[in-house]
Chain A
Amino acid sequence: MKKMSALDRILLLVTGVLAAYQIVVGIDGLSTLPTAAYTIAFGVLLVAGLLLIIFGFDVLDSPLVVIVAAIIPLSLSLGLVTQYLPTLTMLYAAFAFAGLTAIAVTRFAAPGRVGTIVLAVVHGIAGLIIFGLPILFSLQGRTPIGFALVGVGGALIGLGGLMLAFLKAGKPILSQNIILAALPGLLLLMMAAFVAGFAAPLR
């Protein structure tokens, strides 16, 4: 596994600081449910960034990574649904809970083809919401245009997730070294897009 460089650590640290800022300031003033969902998403990102700094890239070998990594898009998309499509809150919350449970169960009980399909479906739906909803709402003028950056962040997290998923499946799109070298920068860009995007509706 690639050794983590000082630059990697700095990029991850800045990502962590941005996630902390988002938890403290960026989601202030929202109602309870979206606040809780966003706190979980950015909280997991923050702690995951710290753990990557502490343990290095080896931590990505843990089977728990797949489950923890699913919490981020699921809670982020849940936050977006509760905030912008409140009528679908219960339905999507049930999907998020069932999706996470299914990923956790199949990781240990059926880690093969079934597990991969469940992972792809759950990540796919959550990813589409994070990518599509902010861009669609911005284009429709229902949110300021800057909010579309959340969608850009969603696309970046999707790209990172995809690369890692293929890597873990033993069919990497790029070499392991290139993927791991790009990951800290990708995470930082993603986090910066989220911070800027979520700040847009406040202006």
Chain B
Amino acid sequence: MSSQSMTYTSQSAIHSLKSYWTLIKSLQTGLLLITGLAGYMSARCPVTHWTTLLAVAGSLFLAISGSTVLNMVYDRDIDLKMSRACQRPLPAGKVSAREALLLGLTLSVLGVGWAFVLSLLYGLVVFAGLFFDVVVYTIWLKRRTPYSILIGGLAGGMPALAGRTLAVGQIDAVGILLASAVLFWIPTHIMTFSIRYEQDYRSAGIPTFPSTYGVPTTRTIIALSSMAAGAAMITSAVLIGMSWGYLRLLVVLSLGLLGLAFGSLVRPSERLNLGLFKYASTYMLGSMLLIMAGGL
């Protein structure tokens, strides 16, 4: 092979890898992965072994990435109609649907398979997360009803539940609360986004809360769900036995989220809405890191 063709091949491989990286939505996948690791680490030693922790990270990363890619494959037609999504690798033609489908299926099978090897119950929860996300949320409900967000939230809570389930060997109250915290946080995360890109979702024919019930009602739901997310997170932290110091910090971060959510209700603005979206992501990351640190 000539040096020129080798350079071309390596450039093409780098290009594909970049597109694959975009396909797995690295930031979203990373955040969900952290919730899974937090779920696992919320159970104190001796269940927290580094080898198992790495296996949890690997299996969840593969399963979450796989489901994200499969969602992208199914949603490529609506992504094409949305200005914020039309530059994604599939609608932009950088990756073919067949190639992405193969990638998504491979990642999903590897992730779920690895999860089943670790534990049957853990595997079932990881599989449930993938099934709810791809089949129930994306394929069945997303284009039919704005309430699909609930199933999306349920799927989002599964990594945290899975991690906790593997650590303690059963589905317990803390696992359900951690999953609930993510479930209630999802509306804050997604609805602020759907307010910002309401026109985009309209163009693609996706029913959202802002387009169905109006923006003021959506803001009320965001405020209430933020409150529920904070309550679930703090309750799970108390049940885990988090120290007072970490708990104080968690309460401070939760009050920040509530302040912004209710502020957005009282004095709504596009800027505050975007700020709430960003703070909500920071909140979830910070809270889950605290759950991890509290479990060490």
Q: Which residues of A contact B (CB under 8 A)?
A: 20, 23-25, 28, 35, 39, 42-43, 46-47, 50-51, 54-55, 58
Contact = CB atoms under 8 A, between A and B. Distances in A.
Contact of B256 (A25, A39, A50, A55): A50
A26 to B, nearest CB: 9
Interface in B12-53: none
Interface residues of B, number: 16
A100 B256 CA distance: 19
Contact of B245 (A28, A43, A58): A28
Output the residue of B244, B249, B256, B259 with the most chain A CB within 10 A.
Answer: B249
B132 to A, nearest CB: 31
A35 B275 CA distance: 29
B255 interface: yes
Interface of B: 244-246, 248-249, 251-253, 255-256, 259, 271, 275, 278-279, 282
Given A23-B245, A24-B245, A28-B245, A46 B252 contact: yes
A23 B271 CA distance: 29
Given A23-B245, A55-B271, A50 B252 contact: no
A54 B252 contact: no
A39 B248 contact: yes
Contact of A24 (B248, B256, B271, B275): B248
A42 B279 CA distance: 18
B249 A20 contact: yes
B140 to A, nearest CB: 35
Contacts of B253: 46-47
A107 to B, nearest CB: 15
A23 B246 CA distance: 8
A159 B73 CA distance: 56
A46 B248 CA distance: 12
B256 A23 contact: no
Nearest to A36: B248
Contacts of A50: 256, 279, 282
A66 B253 CA distance: 21
Nearest to B279: A54
B278 to A, nearest CB: 5
Contacts of B244: 28
A20 B255 CA distance: 14
A35 B251 CA distance: 13
